[in-house]
């Protein structure tokens, strides 16, 4: 029996054979946006389900096949060195003297701005 992959409103879902549910159509949303990477994850899930069907271990409640969000890493923001420095100084602002921020931290930030313009 074949499990299908479909796109519904931009998200991937699995379509199960009617024979598994007494003629009723069942779907399982993977809560994954339709991207090439997520299609690979969906295909892996399909293979797992098809193997379970063949081996007699299919879970008709579908709980075993619910979306595993750890399979696709979330995109992380990439910060420049200067952005990281600004975040660091904001974090440290409550922990150091104002004079340190003005004298030392702003000096380093100015130097960083100047070195960036030379490259």
Model pTM score: 0.55
Q: Name residue 69's beta-bridge partners.
A: none
State the residue range of the domain holding 46.
4-71
> 10 and 59 share a domain?
yes
Query: How many domains are contained in the chain?
Result: 2
CA distance linking residue 52 with residue 59, whole number of Å: 8
Six-digit token string for 36 = 């090439």
pLDDT tens, residue by residue, 7-36:
999 999 999 999 999 999 999 999 999 999
pLDDT tens, residue by residue, 44-76:
999 999 999 999 999 999 999 886 655 555 677
CA distance linking residue 42 with residue 52, whole number of Å: 15
Six-digit token string for 112 = 């960083």
Last residue of a domain, one of 53, 71, 89: 71
Say if 63 falls within a structural domain.
Answer: yes
> 63 and 14 share a domain?
yes
> 9 and 66 share a domain?
yes
CA distance linking residue 17 with residue 1, whole number of Å: 7
> 15 and 50 share a domain?
yes
């Amino acid at each position: 029996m074949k499990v299908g992959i479909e796109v519904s409103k931009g998200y991937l879902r699995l379509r199960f054979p009617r024979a598994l549910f007494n003629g009723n159509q069942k779907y399982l949303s993977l809560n994954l946006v339709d991207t090439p990477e997520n299609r690979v994850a969906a295909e892996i899930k399909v293979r797992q389900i098809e193997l379970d069907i063949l081996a007699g271990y299919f879970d008709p409640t579908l709980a075993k096949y619910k979306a595993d969000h750890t399979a696709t890493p979330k995109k992380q923001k990439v910060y420049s060195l200067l952005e990281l420095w600004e975040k660091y100084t904001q974090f440290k602002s409550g922990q150091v003297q104002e004079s340190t921020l003005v004298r030392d931290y702003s000096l380093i930030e100015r130097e960083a701005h100047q070195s960036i313009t030379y490259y």
